[in-house]
Amino acid sequence: MRYASVALLLTLLLGCGGKDPAPSKPDATSPPQGAPAAKAPAVDPNKLLPEPPGESARVPAKPGVGEKGRDIEHGPVGTPIKALFQVKEILDFARVAQAMEFYKAVYGHYPKTHEEFMREIVEKNDITLPKLPAGSRYAYDAEKAAKMSSYDAEDPPLLVEGTR
């Protein structure tokens, strides 16, 4: 029953992707008839996901760094799907923050190495970090974590480094 509901929802969404009707009368910004239309820039200010890390980039591991949903176009179907992937990443990184705070409460400090972070935070809490684009990897900055009085989700010690 659940799969049928999802299939019905997707069918309805796919059917809503028609083109906008043509304007009834041209406005001053419309090109003259017969002239090629100027192409609008492909920049979408409402993007849910940031651009992928660049060459040898080192960015905070926050929602939007994952591979899923990155290549989906915005639209009546694409935007909700992109949002779904972003919400999943928000929840994954919230679990990391919660586990880090719990770890510090118990041991008095955050993990001291990348290996300790992966074992004590990720593995023991059964956290699935978002899959990264090819050529990227997670890196835990223990020095940064040692300087933190509390976990900062906006500037976490977990980073994504690599290329895409």
Of 130, 140, 134, the residue nearest 65 (C-alpha): 130
Q: What is the reported pLDDT for 56? A: 55
Of 111, 158, 156, 113, the residue nearest 136 (C-alpha): 158
Q: Name the region of 34 (left: φ>0; alpha: ψ -120 to 50; beta: rest).
A: left
Whether the pLDDT of residue 125 is over 50: the answer is yes
Q: What is the reported pLDDT for 47? A: 42
Q: What is the dihedral of CA 50, 54, 57, 63, to 10 degrees?
A: 20
Q: If you average pLDDT over residues 20-31, what whole number do you get?
A: 50
Q: If you average pLDDT over residues 80-108, what whole number do you get?
A: 90
The confidence band for 81, taking pLDDT boundaries of 50, 70 and 90, is confident
Which one is predicted more confidently, 149 or 15? 149
Mean confidence (pLDDT) of the chain:
74
Token pair 């017969």 is found at 34
Buried b (16+ CB within 10 A) or exposed e, 141-163: bbeebeeeeebeeeebbbbbbbe
Whether the pLDDT of residue 93 is over 80: the answer is yes
Percent of all residues in the chain with a pLDDT value above 90, rounded to a whole number: 37
Cβ atoms of 22 and 36 closer than 8 Å: no
